[in-house]
Amino acid sequence: MSPSRASRRYFDPRFEATIITVAPGEHEITAAKDEIVATVLGSCVSVCMRDPQLGIGGLNHFLLPRSNGNHDAGAGERYGDTAMEVLINDLLKRGAKRNHFEAKVFGGARVLSGATMLAIGDNNVAFVTEFLNREGIPVVSKDVGGNRSRRIHYQPSTGRAWVQHVQPTARDSDQEQEIAYLNRLKTQPVAGEVEIFS
């Protein structure tokens, strides 16, 4: 396990599980019964996908729907089209069966100001809805849209998901991180059931 991965794992007594945090443009897969993958979303979208028969699954976190032909090695999972393929392929490599897949979809809020920014969440939701429909992967639950950020916790072994809606503030750190991430993308070349908790 790399040091960066190790630094993103911690034990949470509320869940009695190890939490693995997923940053924008990344994904994580696990089959361990005592592991939960987690992320924080604004206009980004996460798809939680699993093979319920094997209890293996994962979560991705993408910022924009399509790469539009950008195939830089580092561009990867920040785009929905790539993030979805990587998640599916990694699940298949771990033994999951495509015809068993089920998905839960989260995010796509309107948390950023400006007409272009407002459309990002809507575009992400539209993209992933169309993608999953085209691939024949059923969406068993979703919590998308709105104007609040979300904290997502997903336990692939059981398929259980927890969503916490975060009250918007004038300048919350999640929104600032998302704006900074969007700005980096523009300027840097890149080498079942849902439980609401508070």
Residue-level pLDDT at 194: 57
Residue 142's pLDDT is what? 97
Q: Tell me the average pLDDT across 137-163.
A: 96
pLDDT computed for residue 152 by the predictor: 97
Residue 8 has pLDDT above 70, yes or no: yes
Domains and CATH numbers, the chain: 19-196 (3.30.1330.200)
Per-residue burial over 44-76, b = 16 or more CB atoms within 10 Å of its CB, e = otherwise: bbbbbbbbbebbbbbbbbbbbbebeeeeeeebb
Question: Per the residue annotation, which of 44, 47, 84, 128 is the catalytic one?
Answer: 44
24-77 per-position pLDDT tens digit: 999 999 999 999 999 999 999 999 999 999 999 999 999 999 887 655 555 678
Q: What is the pLDDT of residue 70?
A: 59
Q: Is 48 a catalytic residue?
A: no
> In a 3-state reduction of DSSP, which class is residue 146?
coil
Q: What are the strands of the beta sheet with 35-41, ordered from one edge?
A: 9-12, 17-21, 35-41, 149-155, 160-166, 194-196
Q: What does the pLDDT read at residue 68?
A: 73
